[in-house]
């Protein structure tokens, strides 16, 4: 099958990484994935795997850019003999819907998050004949807020490449780049730096400052980019200056996420990045823009799975003091064995329930069903 995967961008992010991983797996399975987006850091990885990428303004919905995107997709469909359109995101889905109507090509979507459900969005969001949701709560959201028929929806969780994200990695390149000492305890935080997440990044940095007062042998590594990146750099520079040591490292946009996570004694993550850290065998404090679940353990892992590791079903409060207390307690030398146990637990959960091979095969099953018109 020739599948066109349409995404808003191919920069750092959960949906973007999902599209990249799915495209690579489809290629391995003998299909022909074609990707269209506004571009980004992952385009090179597609090209390295001989997967075509086309650029279009799929992050803009004004009539000029919408018309431009539809024309580009039209040409791609003809050139690549596309059998099926798979939209990832509201604007890409709108473009795919228009092409589907014009060309008679089957169209489907994957919902990676809870979309805004204002009145106008309810009537301008298009889902296709088949819909994949990455978690149960997103499925409920589409049913309750957008009246999507339950029989059209299939839940297929995110897939993680457990060979790429592996405890076997040593992160030596990142360690050398940042001039890190081997004996420091490293805390890794990875996310976008914009919107509600900016407040969280500031809280993580402030927590690092407080932890450093009691445990100077730490390094806090923050990777990610966004509209507030410069502001976060200024905050971290000020904290480092006050500490008289550069223990907070702001890395910006990176594609070597697995190597970065491999350095961690503890990861503070959410959603897909939480799964990636777990696949690397790292214990995780789950904190994001939608909720806080704290340290992932045997007691709350099922709840985290149910909300796709976003924390959005949790009522737990987060503050600098709460985060500081949890970090200091967990990183105490007496908890070394517990850190290993939780690292093994996370890796086991990802292997058993979030493999990229299962995600791709289940997605192909939906493609086959759609093309057969079942």
Predicted pLDDT of residue 347: 96
Q: Hey, is 301 helix, strand or coil?
A: helix
Q: pTM of the entire structure?
A: 0.84
Domain 172-353 falls under CATH 3.40.50.1000? no
Give the mean pLDDT per block of 10 residues along the chain (374 residues): 96 86 96 96 94 96 94 97 96 94 95 79 82 90 91 92 93 94 94 87 96 94 92 95 95 91 95 94 91 94 88 87 95 92 96 92 95 78
Pairing of strands 32-37, 2-7: parallel
Predicted pLDDT of residue 125: 80
Rounded to the nearest 5 degrees, what angle is found at the Cα of 192, between the Cα atoms of 196 and 270? Answer: 80
Predicted pLDDT of residue 374: 54
Predicted pLDDT of residue 238: 96
Inter-CA distances, 217 with 177, 183, 186, 223, 277, Å = 18, 8, 9, 20, 22
Task: Name the CATH superfamily for 2-159+355-372.
Answer: Glycogen Phosphorylase B; (3.40.50.2000)
Where do the domains of the chain lie? Answer: 2-159+355-372, 172-353
List of residues 6+ apart from 193 with CB closer than 8 A: 201, 224, 225, 226, 227, 228, 229, 232
């Amino acid at each position: 099958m020739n599948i066109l995967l349409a995404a808003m961008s191919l920069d750092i992010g959960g949906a973007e990484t999902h599209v990249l991983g799915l495209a690579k797996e489809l290629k391995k399975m003998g299909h022909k994935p074609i990707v269209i987006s506004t571009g980004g850091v992952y385009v090179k990885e597609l090209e390295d795997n001989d997967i075509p990428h086309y650029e279009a303004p799929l992050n803009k919905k004004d009539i000029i850019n919408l018309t431009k995107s539809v024309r580009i997709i039209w040409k791609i469909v003809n050139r690549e003999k596309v059998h099926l359109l798979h939209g990832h995101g509201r604007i890409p889905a709108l473009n795919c819907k228009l092409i589907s109507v014009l060309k008679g090509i089957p169209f489907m979507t994957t919902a990676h998050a809870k979309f805004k459900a204002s009145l106008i969005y309810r009537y301008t969001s298009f889902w296709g004949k088949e819909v994949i949701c990455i978690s149960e709560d997103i499925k409920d959201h589409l049913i309750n807020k957008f009246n999507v028929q339950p029989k059209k929806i299939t839940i297929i969780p995110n897939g993680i490449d457990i060979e790429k994200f592996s405890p076997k990695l040593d992160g030596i390149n990142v360690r050398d780049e940042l001039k890190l000492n081997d004996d420091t305890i490293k805390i890794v935080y990875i996310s976008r730096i914009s919107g509600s997440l900016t407040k969280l990044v500031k809280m993580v940095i402030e927590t690092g400052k407080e932890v450093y007062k009691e445990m100077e042998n730490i390094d806090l590594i923050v990777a990610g980019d966004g509209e507030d990146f410069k502001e976060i750099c200024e905050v971290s520079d000020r904290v480092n200056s006050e500490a008289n040591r550069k223990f907070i490292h702001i890395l910006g946009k990176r594609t070597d996420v697995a190597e970065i996570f491999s350095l961690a004694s503890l990861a503070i993550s959410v959603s897909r990045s939480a799964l990636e850290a777990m696949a690397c065998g790292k214990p995780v404090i789950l904190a994001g823009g939608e909720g806080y679940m704290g340290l992932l353990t045997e007691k709350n892992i099922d709840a985290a799975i149910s909300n796709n590791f976003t924390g959005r079903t949790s009522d737990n409060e987060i503050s600098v003091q709460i985060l500081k207390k949890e970090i200091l307690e967990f990183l105490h030398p007496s908890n070394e064995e517990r850190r290993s146990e939780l690292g093994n637990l996370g890796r086991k959960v990802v292997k058993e329930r979030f493999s990229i091979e299962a995600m791709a095969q289940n997605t192909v099953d939906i493609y086959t069903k759609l093309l057969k018109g079942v």
